[in-house]
Amino acid sequence: GAGVSQSPRYKVAKRGQDVALRCDPISGHVSLFWYQQALGQGPEFLTYFQNEAQLDKSGLPSDRFFAERPEGSVSTLKIQRTQQEDSAVYLCASSLGVAAETRTGELFFGEGSRLTVL
Amino acid sequence: DAKTTQPTSMDCAEGRAANLPCNHSTISGNEYVYWYRQIHSQGPQYIIHGLKNNETNEMASLIITEDRKSSTLILPHATLRDTAVYYCIVRVVDSGAGSYQLTFGKGTKLSVIP
């Protein structure tokens, strides 16, 4: 499809396991965002990429969280040594680019990856 | 980015207009007002945004007060599919380098009732 694609949709991990969540943004989109959404809460910003450059990682909750976008397209969010508090939906969003956002203001979100840590 | 205040929940009868208020009394001159919604088990979806003029598109209308301290999102004829959490967000948009992340609050849960 033409939208933002995330995989896996559901992931169950045992505490202490490492997980990797993938995001395929819309083709040609320069900006890519990761958000974390706990149950009953609004999404919370984790990190932002412009092409392959990670320009803002201020929202990453700990050094167990790592994100990359090596070729400026697909991005991976990696969580090491998962803890129960990491259980959440992880949302990826993309947008055309910096200048375009002043015109449309639109971020396109994927359906998210639901992580459950037991 | 400025904070926003929204009611926790609202009901609306199917076919009637849904008016969702948002207070953003600390908004700065270069901050836009954005509305997104999130239907259950889906990612947020962009609805509309504006700076100071009222805006309308195929989904909704956005009315911003003259002092820009509050706004209202209007869904003119609500349907059952409009049941969702609606987020009002204020955000700086410029052409410089930096982050353009959205800061979501808890939003308003709108229930459209048959």
* Contact present, B30 and B41 (Cβ < 8 Å): no
Q: B106–A41: do the CB atoms touch at under 8 Å?
A: yes
Return the closest-CA partner of residue A93 out of A25, A28, A1, A36: A25
* Contact present, A6 and A92 (Cβ < 8 Å): yes
From residue B85, give the alpha-carbon distance in Å to each of A49, A74, B20, B23: 27, 28, 11, 16
Classify B98 as helix, strand or coil: coil
Q: What is the pLDDT of residues A103-114, one digit of tens each?
A: 556 889 999 999
**Average pLDDT for residues A91-115, to the nearest whole number?**
81
| Closest Cβ–Cβ partner in B94, B97, B104 for A43 | B104
Instruction: Report the phi/psi class of residue A55: left, alpha or beta, with left for phi > 0 and alpha for psi in -120 to 50.
Output: alpha
Return the closest-CA partner of residue B82 out of B29, B28, B22, B39: B39
Q: With 90 as the cut, is the pLDDT of residue A98 above it?
A: no
Q: With 90 as the cut, is the pLDDT of residue B59 above it?
A: yes
**Average pLDDT for residues B103-109, to the nearest whole number?**
93
Name which of A4, A44, A58, A98 to mutate to probe chain B: the one with the most chain B Cβ atoms within 10 A of its Cβ.
Answer: A98
Q: What is the pLDDT of residues B71-83, one digit of tens each?
A: 999 999 999 999 9
Q: B99–A48: do the CB atoms touch at under 8 Å?
A: yes
Show residues of chain A in contact with B34, CB under 8 Å: 105
The C-alpha angle with vertex A21 and arms to A18 and A24, in degrees rounded to 5, equals: 160
